[in-house]
Amino acid sequence: MKINKNYQNIEETYLFSEVAERVRRFMEKDKSATLIKMGIGDVTRPLCRAAVDALVKASEEMGTAEGFHGYGPEQGYEFLRDEIASYYQRHSGVKLYSEEIFVSDGAKSDIGNILDIFDVDNIVAVTDPVYPVYVDTNVMSGRKIIKLSATADNDFLPMPYPGLEADIIYLCSPNNPTGAAYDKTRLKKWVDFANAHGSVILFDAAYEAFITDPDIPRSIYCIEGARSCAIEFCSLSKTAGFTGTRCGYTVVPEGLVREGVQLRKMWLRRQSTKFNGVSYPVQRAAAACLKESGQEEILQNIAYYKENATIMAQTFAELKWPFAGGKNSPYLWVKCPHGMRSWAFFDDLLERANVICTPGSGFGDCGEGYVRFTSFNTHDNTVEAMRRIKEIFA
């Protein structure tokens, strides 16, 4: 028996596990400390009423002989896939077909699992800093990875360059962790590159609901030519507070063909083999969130988080700390003061302000000297965290 030795090439500890361990050790020293968590991207607002009502109703159905549902379709119930298609049509004017939409238990799972349909010899391009899952899942498979530097010099938005060789390209917009977002012009260049080189873009749109700038596309399919080169992942985790409820979806267009094979059919075959679908009550709740009535409630929660981001942005501007994000994104990517390194600033902020951020170096080499703050806490905690930071660093 042989193990997959590629696992020896990934970091032994996941970034957020290390954050949690440092926080645990700190709390052992100071049990009276009142911590404010602004590091992990978990939401705090409760599920909207439309989702709760749908969950309750669907659960009651499951308790009757007439309404009971066993195994559902691996691709997702048609009522939810139709609602997702309608949602795209409303927010971006993008027409999707039900057969192109695959319901899952979240974008993170699909972003890792989609690699099953690609050969290990493909060259992968990721931005740096980067959401660790993009890198780790490919290292686990033994693929070659190229890192594209995302720095203040390019607005944290790397672009294709002459001589770039990449078969699989990960793009996240608005980006996690930097909060930077590709406008239509820049995204079109990536689409043109992928089509010209036969590459496939894996587009993470998990934060699309936070976009307000009309020049920032909420879907890559807003860009001409994207249907022949891009797979899009999205999630209700941040959009509707489903981090603990688990529901997302992946779009694989019919026109995406490589080596004469339609990738949609490959993904359908993979899912029908390895995935048994998302529970019926959760899919009913997701559909309720995507309806126009549910959207009214969800937008209130998103506005709540965006107000938090504004409060944070104002504080960092007052302190004259350079930062990105916070406008079309729930994340703020902040340069550490006084030239501090990421983990040093993390420890200092934890010790002196009892505020938790995420060290940028955990997202890649280009993240060194930065930290990520999230806007997903409560208003009161956000205001208090910023007060503490100003009190210490002003």
Task: Give this prediction's pTM.
Answer: 0.96
Residue 217's nearest CA partner among 172, 184, 170, 253 is: 184
Cis peptide preceding 158, ω within 30 of 0: no
CATH 3.40.640.10 applies to domain 49-291: yes
Q: Do domains 5-47+294-393 and 49-291 have the same CATH topology?
A: no
Which CATH fold topology does 5-47+294-393 show?
Aspartate Aminotransferase, domain 1 (3.90.1150)
pLDDT in tens, the chain (394 residues): 999 999 999 887 678 889 999 999 999 999 899 999 999 889 999 999 999 999 999 999 999 999 999 999 999 999 999 999 999 999 999 999 999 999 999 999 999 999 999 999 999 999 999 999 999 999 999 999 999 999 999 999 999 999 999 999 999 999 999 999 999 999 999 999 999 999 999 999 999 999 999 999 999 999 999 999 999 999 999 999 999 999 999 999 999 999 999 999 999 999 999 999 999 999 999 999 999 889 999 999 999 999 999 999 999 999 999 999 999 999 999 999 999 999 999 999 999 999 999 999 999 999 999 999 999 999 999 999 999 999 999 8
Residue 228's nearest CA partner among 195, 274, 193, 181 is: 195
For 139-188, where are the E strands, in sequence order?
A: 144-149, 168-172
Question: Side chain identity at 328, as an amino acid letter?
Answer: N
Predicted pLDDT of residue 40: 84
**Domain spans of the chain?**
5-47+294-393, 49-291
